[in-house]
Structure 1
């Protein structure tokens, strides 16, 4: 494939001819890095049993991926802009594949967490590269469609991860959920070499590595504090991390305001379309990831579905994502970002609120409407918000733009799982104590209070005891189910309140349609000028 950089800008009047095939490669790359998080939801019970994971161990198997993923995206996006966006995509896929091989082969908790961290580093390279390449490849008039496909892929991965993991776990060990990433990553590398054009920013100054380091420290510390504090108590570690995050953030802002070529121009947060869209992505994934985190546990532990059966029952969410994406492609250009994103967030809030009706006798049907609403809301809201964020950055900062968007997404998801997961655990523990307190030995009670899985494991042991063990075990199972359903209802109420507050904030911040339409947006001459700018940027 000839390098686009070898093509004179004045001769390149048409868009890159294989851009839609390139988009397929970008979406495939995005799919596996998002699936790496969602597939673990259904693989966690097998991993816990096989490795003997404690609650803290399991949390870090999950978040060993999340912390580097969230902390490094901004910096690695800028490095991709500077040197090679396609090269960053390929390198990230190779790192991700290496971590996946390690995760699939080891059988020690520390090594699994290390493998997940390596995968997180690879994902932090891949995810901003997919967005920056997409914007560089597609002309403005087609970009909204391309970003809609990218956004729908993110939603698809939420359901596809548990489905793929469930299918593998039917006949393979949990390590297969790591190894399945390898052939897909290799396919992505080959596709990138054949179909994705080389691209990098021109006229980009030196990288602001000091600002980059401050962003890594700030975001990494914030995610660590958000994970550790709610789940395991605000001891010295989480409090120190929170202080470091606060000081680091202030230092980052002060440095970026003074630097002639900042890593991220923090003045962009004064722009209402940008800041409103960033808040929308953060709040939306806070509620969505947190809700799916405990909904899948109810399907597995209370309703007794296998990993595969759980994955199948998440498919309506994926279908609703595509329906929302199809609708937003028609509505957003006509109604504007504020109305479409605000409506999507409101629908997502209703979806979370419906989970407050869950009780111990609930069935899958009670989860269907919330899943459909959350999926439709993702498809409706994410694309216009992401398009607005990426449109706020010049061609030389597309990787930084992708990193900013993806950091908001990942930070929102991490906070949702950490904060709502912590509320869930506390509510479950308190309710179980009320129902069972004093009827179990202290050690067994501690295990039962740790998680719904722990409670059911204790019930299995009680069933093996003589003199009425089966009856006592059933009573404990009923108590565990009731406690977990109660915890979901209480947690969902808090989640819905936070989502509702976020929706109102986003609606207040985002400007109306007239304020976001720039002069010449509907002018064909202006559109032609933008396409010429696109041609010049794409050939770089």
Structure 2
């Protein structure tokens, strides 16, 4: 974009401090994503009886994770709409304060029930943080620099996912389990102060009338759908009436939401955006990529600790190549897109993601750490070439005034895809593991067999309590888990290959232009001739 047009879009004051604004926003993004990955390595400690942990059961641990996801995913779209209407800076600040308060309360939980409840508070705050960060980025960077900024944003997500286990391992070596939540508080305080001083506000200058029915339908449908997905993974079966009825109910409510949005004069989300195959294909790429990645990340923590015997810190360090690759390559993905086109880069990245999952078939109960590092590095490189171009396609197809709801759509598919990955691939893992270990549980008292067959961690815990008689269970448990991990990795790989096929079919190739026109015009939307209303 020529310099003469820049002042019409972003003020000089904002333009000059845009990179500082991005750095501050990354703190908020980092702490929200870090929290989920840091918790994974603390699960075994939290499950220990007091005073080491709080004696959480396997089901309670799952809900400590899923209560956050349920509220987070259910409120994302509503949070994006609120930011567009009342101002993204205020929404971001409120979200950070609520998230920090939830972190503080979680750190001093006295029971599993309290932890689940306080994690819900954290999910409420996080839902208002994620869309606001992405929307503000779209409003402080001009189109030419947005791919680079979004690449850095995506790299920060990958970095937080991989750095979380390292941070968690370090904290658990020196402090009590609550430190994995308490560490969020100083980051939140620092980020909030910096945001008040530096980050500008923006909003939709023409939001139209409120669409309360659309907001309620979107929230209700997402909560029901995600709850059903989570419950299916927890029960290791999607045939339960509670599971399929809840998921079906969620889909029906979301169908009513779509029907309502197509009819109402001022829709909360203009469904015509999805008529653009570039927008829909990019959304699909994000969802399937996180379906595969989060599902495999879930079982990888147990493989590293329970099968290979690594400490939480060692397990975190082995994931470092994943973080390093994403951090280095994500901001540079735009350069490859300029040469090869969005379709080749994003589709090729998803194909490589699928290949790395198939690479997990080479892992066994005594895998070399260098092989793991190589697989994680390749996976990080692949993801770094999927998320930035896909995010650019999603956001560039929307006018800036709708950046909050657009960011929410992006994050909803990311979260729902991740939740489905954990639930569906976790269910596949649990079922495969139970079939593999059942024949070896004869040495376990009948009353404990169901518990012992839940997971490799549960089997090894029972084996330890049985003493010498339980030693015969250790190797079969590890072998059964590795086989189940191989089955799950194939499922994740197929999801990634499906995403690659969708991208190669619908995203623009080299020489066909960017993902959207320069004015971001969409059906029924006016061209973005000016920046959203500022508050500098």
TM-score range, shorter chain: over 0.9
Structure 2: how far apart are the matches of 1:326 and 1:124?
25
Q: Structure 2 matches for 1:124-523, cutoff 5 A?
A: 124-232=127-235, 233=237, 234-434=239-439, 436-463=440-467, 469=468, 472-517=469-514
438-447 or 376-385, which moves further after superposition? 438-447
TM superposition shift of 1:181 = 0.7
TM superposition shift of 1:11 = 11
Contact 1:212/1:263, CA 8 A, preserved across alignment: yes
- In structure 2, the CA distance between the partners of 1:112 and 1:195, relative to structure 1 (3 Å rule), is same
TM superposition shift of 1:420 = 0.8
Structure 1: how far apart are the matches of 2:462 and 2:332?
48
182-191 or 357-366, which moves further after superposition? 357-366
The equivalent residue for 1:466 is none
- In structure 2, the CA distance between the partners of 1:515 and 1:252, relative to structure 1 (3 Å rule), is farther
Contact 2:9/2:530, CA 8 A, preserved across alignment: no
Structure 1: how far apart are the matches of 2:513 and 2:275?
14
Contact 2:217/2:257, CA 8 A, preserved across alignment: yes
Gap regions ≥5 residues in structure 2: 1-6, 520-525
- In structure 2, the CA distance between the partners of 1:459 and 1:391, relative to structure 1 (3 Å rule), is same
Deviations 1:265-299 (Å, cap 9, x if unpaired)? 11211101100100000000111111111112111
Q: Is it true that 1:54 corresponds to 2:53 in the alignment?
A: no
TM superposition shift of 1:12 = 4.1
TM superposition shift of 1:515 = 4.2
TM superposition shift of 1:473 = 3.0
Structure 2: how far apart are the matches of 1:60 and 1:70?
15
CA RMSD of aligned residues (A): 2.2
Q: Secondary structure at the match of 1:140?
A: coil
The equivalent residue for 1:16 is 15
Deviations 1:300-336 (Å, cap 9, x if unpaired)? 1111111111111111111111232144121112322
Contact 1:82/1:200, CA 8 A, preserved across alignment: yes
Contact 1:135/1:398, CA 8 A, preserved across alignment: yes
TM superposition shift of 1:500 = 1.4
- In structure 2, the CA distance between the partners of 1:15 and 1:108, relative to structure 1 (3 Å rule), is closer
67-76 or 203-212, which moves further after superposition? 203-212
Structure 2: how far apart are the matches of 1:297 and 1:126?
30
The equivalent residue for 1:31 is 30
Indicate which of 68, 77, 80 corresponds to 1:77.
Answer: 80
- In structure 2, the CA distance between the partners of 1:518 and 1:268, relative to structure 1 (3 Å rule), is closer
Q: TM (normalized to structure 1)?
A: 0.92
TM superposition shift of 1:535 = 5.0
Structure 1: how far apart are the matches of 2:430 and 2:268?
38
Structure 1: how far apart are the matches of 2:383 and 2:530?
28
358-367 or 377-386, which moves further after superposition? 358-367
The equivalent residue for 1:527 is none
Q: Secondary structure at the match of 2:41?
A: helix
Structure 2: how far apart are the matches of 1:450 and 1:11?
55
Q: Secondary structure at the match of 2:442?
A: coil
TM superposition shift of 1:230 = 3.4
Q: TM (normalized to structure 2)?
A: 0.92
Gap regions ≥5 residues in structure 1: 1-7, 464-468, 523-529
502-511 or 369-378, which moves further after superposition? 502-511
How many residues are aligned here? 518
